[in-house]
A and B are shown apart, each in its own frame.
Chain A
Amino acid sequence: SYELTQPPSVSVSPGQTARITCSGETLPKKFAYWYQQKSGQAPVLVIYEDTKRPSGIPERFSGSSSGSMATLTISGAQVEDEADYYCYSTDSSGYHRVFGGGTKLTVL
C-alpha cells in the first residue's frame, strides 16, 4: 500500500523556523495537504494543494513541494503551534487517500 513518510518529531525554540517534511513517490504528481492537530481536538487544514493557505491560517504557515518531498514551514514558530502535523495525499490512481504517520512539533 502507498505510504507517506514523516519524521516522528521536530523541535524548535520560539521564533525559529520549523520545517516538517513528507516524502512519497507520487508527490511529484499529486498534491500534498497538511493538517494541524492539537491535543484532544479535531485536525485543522493548514495547507492545501501543496502551497495554498486556507483563510484564517496565519501567514507563518507555508507549504512547498519539490520532487518526491513536500515541506510544511512555520516561520517564527510560536508556542501555540505545538501540535501533531499530518501530511496527506493520494496514491497514483488518485482514488485513494493516505496520511503520513504524523510529526510532533515541540516549540520550547
Chain B
Amino acid sequence: QITLKESGPTLVKPTQTLTLTCTFSGFSISTTGVSVGWIRQPPGKALEWLAVIYWNDDKRYSPSLNSRLTITQDTSKNQVVLTMTNMDPVDTATYYCTHGRGTVFEDFWGQGTTVTVSS
C-alpha cells in the first residue's frame, strides 16, 4: 500500500527558506519509472505543479519557480525534500507530495501540509 506524508513548518516568515519533507512507504524511488512530485494549492485557488524527481535522479521544476526550488531524494530514508527560497505571503498554500510511475502521473497523494507565510 502506497502512502505519502508531508511534514514541515506551518508558519514561515517572508524571505525565509521553506523545507518540506515527503516521507513515503509502499514503494522505492529507486524503482525504474517511479517519480515523486510536489504540488501546492493556495486557499480557494487551483492546484499548481511545482517539481518532480525521478528514479534516476532527474529533476524538473515549474518554469515560473525554477530559481527558488530544489528537490532532492534520500533513498535510505524513503524521503524526498523540497526547498523553496525567499518565501512570500503569496506562497501560503497547502503543499502536497505525490507518487507517479511512468506516464501515470500523481496516482497517489499525501494528505497535504498547510504553510502560512506571515511576519
Contact = CB atoms under 8 A, between A and B. Distances in A.
A31 B103 CA distance: 8
Interface string B20-55: 000000000000000001010000001111001000
Contact of A97 (B52, B64, B109): B52
Interface of B: 37, 39, 46-49, 52, 60-64, 96, 103-107, 109-112
Most buried by A among B37, B109, B110: B109
B47 A97 contact: no
Given A37-B47, A42-B111, A45-B106, 14 more contacts: A43-B47, A43-B96, A44-B109, A45-B104, A48-B104, A49-B103, A49-B104, A54-B107, A88-B106, A95-B60, A96-B62, A97-B37, A97-B52, A102-B47
Contacts, number: 55
A31 B49 CA distance: 16
A99 B49 CA distance: 7
Interface of A: 1, 31, 33, 35, 37, 42-45, 48-49, 54, 86, 88, 95-102
Contacts of B103: 31, 48-49
A49 B48 CA distance: 19
Contacts of A42: 96, 109-112
A35 B106 CA distance: 9
Contacts of B62: 96
Contacts of A99: 39, 46-49
Contacts of A95: 60
Contact of B63 (A1, A43, A100): A1
B109 A43 contact: yes
A101 to B, nearest CB: 5
Contacts of A86: 46-47
B108 to A, nearest CB: 8
Most buried by A among B47, B62, B104, B110: B47
